[in-house]
Amino acid sequence: MRQPAGGRRRLTLASLASLPLELAPPVDPRSLRARIVHLGLGAFHRAHQALFTEDAVTATGEDWGICGVSPRSGHVVEQLAPQDGLYTVATRAGRQESLRVVGVVRELLWARADPDRVTARIAAPATTLVTLTVTEKGYRHDPASNRLRLEDREIAADLAGEPPRTVIGQLVAGLERRRRDTGEPLTILCCDNLPSNGRVLEGLVHEFVARREDADELAGWIDRRVRFPSTMVDRIVPASTRGDLLRVAARLGLIDEGVVVTEPFRQWVIEDDFVAPRPAWEKAGATLTADVGPYERIKLRMLNASHSTIAYLGALADCELVADAMREDRPFRALAEALMAADVAPTLQPPDGFDLDDYRRQLLERFANRALRHRTIQVAMDGSQKLPQRLLGTIRDRLAQGAEPAVAALGVAAWMRFVSARRSDGGRELEVDDPLADRIAQTVGGHEDPARVVDALLSLREVFGEQLAADQLFRALLVEHLGALRRDGAARTAARLSAGY
Ligand code: CS2
């Protein structure tokens, strides 16, 4: 591990006392115990659900702590274990930055090294909740059909009884032990950007269970004792940089390798369907509701769809950051506005009192926050797993309404240009980081001709499904846009299209 610079001490429970009171956790971390198991200890969780939990604990005096599990990489555990789970959240907007040390993560596990301890933690009587942020690809499902990829090598190994390596395998191992040990109920809360995320996760768990020997018994127990509420989560949390760590260390007077940087905005809407105790998240600003669906759909189709569209077009136009792409002298802000107003809004049924125009304006401001170094290439990652819920649902709905979803189709065409050309308009190499990267490269086969590239990529049925892939209007829009992106570049194509709105 890197040696702390400048002879400073590391952030730990012991060094906490040296912090000014306003930066220290509002509750004594030693008074909390791990009652939530969280799978996926990335920056997002640490800046979102962990804060809601700590704020709820501060409001109620309860003792909810988190056992943070890193499913794949040991990196976060290496960062946080020497710090007793403590880390700083830096909230930035304009020139303002406020810091807060968070103490709610009380235990750390690396699932690859220790799957059995994770199983035991999920089964433990103290645990009443499992929460997840493992990203879209972590579920090993086909986003077009929401079916588990049974041919996935690690899913197959988990089903064969190997120590679990996938999130679904790990969850089922925990559920099985819990059923045997105590039979106590458990709520499993999916916090990833998937539509009906609770239902999807429940379906994947059941598909996995159905292939086990004890299928009927375990499935029946899960139906009776386990709930999978859906949630909508929202906060922009880019990957931290070395510069962030140095800046925060200078202010804390302590080294923190686990700093997360985020925006002031945060939102959490949770389906109120729990079978076991939970923190009073509503006391921390979360919304508990009977139906998350409308919120989820608005967020995925407005925020995440424009985020991805800006990311692909911006990366092609050599914008390093989302905020660079949003500059007034660039056409992508107007394009995102056209996408949301013309294509997305007519597919939404906002809850009573929800002002979509205001929401749209707020999103554009959030994307333009220059204090966040959110790289276009980071948002561009895993496009094959993101496009279906972000853009394709809108496109399907607009086609069914007899409309021509030209702007949303440009988002998809920009992805196609990104994954097929692998170069920006200025000639910079673009890395395609995607679980389907090999299949994409193979099917595109180095071709550049727009019609050929469109047909090759539409053949990815796990992304596009059957019906949309066969839609002639959609195909024509893609071929036209891809031709324009190749000929004129992302900036001119976006400017021309948004001028018509
Ligand atoms: C982003 C999201 O990386 C991405 O794909 O679109 O992580 C986005 O920042 C969050 O969903 C905001 O809530």
- The CA-atom distances, in angstroms, between 463 and each of 107, 143, 238, 283, 407 are 37, 6, 25, 39, 19
Residue 139: phi and psi, rounded to 5, are -90, -10
Domain boundaries, the chain: 5-289, 293-498
Give the distance (Å) from ligand 1 centre to CA of residue 209.
Answer: 31
Strands of the sheet with 231-234, listed across from one edge: 231-234, 267-271, 287-289
300 C-alpha to ligand 1 centroid (Å): 9
Q: Which atom of ligand 1 is nearest to the CA of 233?
A: 13
Q: What is the distance, to the nearest Å, from the Cα of residue 91 to the centroid of all Cα atoms in its chain? A: 19
Q: What's the gap in Å between 44 CA and the centre of ligand 1? A: 9
Q: Are 228 and 188 in contact (CB under 8 A)?
A: yes
5-289 and 293-498: identical CATH topology? no
Distance 380 CA to ligand 1 centre (A): 10
Task: Give me the tens of pLDDT residue by residue for the chain, a chain 501 residues long.
Answer: 444 455 789 999 999 999 998 999 999 999 999 999 999 999 999 999 999 999 999 999 999 999 999 998 899 999 999 999 999 999 999 899 999 999 999 999 999 999 999 999 999 999 999 999 999 999 999 999 999 999 999 999 999 999 999 999 999 999 999 999 999 999 999 999 999 999 999 999 999 999 998 899 999 999 999 999 999 999 999 999 999 999 999 999 999 999 999 999 999 999 999 999 999 999 999 999 999 999 999 999 999 999 999 999 999 999 999 999 999 999 999 999 999 999 999 999 999 999 999 999 999 999 999 999 999 999 999 999 999 999 999 999 999 999 999 999 999 999 999 999 999 999 999 999 999 999 999 999 999 999 999 999 999 999 999 999 999 999 999 999 999 999 999 999 999 999 988
Q: Which ligand 1 atom sits nearest the alpha carbon of residue 307?
A: 6
Alpha-carbon distance 348 to 366, whole Å?
21
* Closest atom, ligand 1, to C-alpha of 390: 6
Closest by CA position to 389, among listed 344, 438, 422, 455: 344
Judged by DSSP in three states, 431 sits in coil
**Ligand 1 centre distance from Cα of residue 379 (Å):** 7
Ligand 1 centroid from CA 381, angstroms: 11
For residue 479, how far is its CA from the centre of ligand 1 (angstroms)?
Answer: 28
| Dist CA 435 CA 151 (whole Å) | 14
Contact between 234 and 263 under an 8 Å Cβ cutoff? The reply is no
Distances (CA, A) of 324 to 93, 315, 329: 15, 10, 10
Pocket test for ligand 1, best of 44, 194, 269 (most atoms within 8 A of CB): 44
What is the CA(212)–ligand 1 centre distance, in A? Answer: 35
**Please, how many CA atoms are within 13 Å of residue 174, restricted to the half-sphere of its CB?**
32
From 266, 303, 359, 386, the mutation candidate for ligand 1 (largest count of ligand atoms within 8 A of CB) is 303
Nearest to 454 by CA among 419, 430, 479: 479
Between the CA of 57 and the centroid of ligand 1 the distance, in Å, is: 26
* pLDDT tens per residue across span 217-274: 999 999 999 999 999 999 999 999 999 999 999 999 999 999 999 999 999 999 999 9
Predicted confidence at residue 61, as pLDDT, reads 97
Amino acid, single-letter form, for residue 495: A
**Residue pLDDT, tens place only, 180-230:** 999 999 999 999 999 999 999 999 999 999 999 889 999 999 999 999 999
For residue 8, the model assigns a pLDDT of 87
Choosing from 379, 382, 418 the residue with most ligand 1 atoms within 8 A of its CB, the one to mutate for a pocket test is 379
Which residue's CA is the closest to the ligand 1 atom numbered 1? 379
The gap between the terminal CA atoms of the chain, to the nearest Å, is 53
pLDDT at 60: 98
Task: Please report the atom of ligand 1 found closest to the CA of residue 44.
Answer: 7
Which atom of ligand 1 is nearest the CA belonging to 379?
3
Which homologous superfamily is 293-498 in?
A: N-(1-d-carboxylethyl)-l-norvaline Dehydrogenase; domain 2 (1.10.1040.10)
What is the pLDDT at residue 3? 47
**Considering the entire predicted model, what is its pTM?**
0.96
Whose Cα sits closest to atom 3 in ligand 1?
379
Tell me how far the alpha carbon of residue 322 lies from the centroid of ligand 1, in angstroms: 11
Tell me how far the alpha carbon of residue 304 lies from the centroid of ligand 1, in angstroms. Answer: 6
What residues flank ligand 1, with Cβ below 6 Å?
193, 234-236, 304, 307, 378-379, 386
**Amino acid 7: pLDDT:** 72
Return the ligand 1 atom nearest residue 308 CA.
Answer: 6
Report pLDDT digits (tens) over 13-58.
999 999 998 999 999 999 999 999 999 999 999 999 999 999 999 9
Q: Which helix (H) or strand (E) holds 492?
A: helix 472-499
CA of 48 to the centre of ligand 1 (A): 12
Would you state the structure tokens that stand for residue 108, as one six-digit string?
């750390």
Q: Which atom of ligand 1 is nearest to the CA of 267?
A: 13
Closest C-alpha residue for ligand 1 atom 9: 236
pLDDT of residue 6: 57
Check if the beta carbon of residue 41 is closer than 8 Å to that of residue 237: no
Asked: is 5-289 a CATH 3.30.460.10 domain? The reply is: no
| Residues 283/310, Cβ–Cβ less than 8 Å | no
In sequence order, what are the residues at sequence separation of 6 or more whose Cβ sits closer than 8 angstroms to the Cβ of residue 439? 460
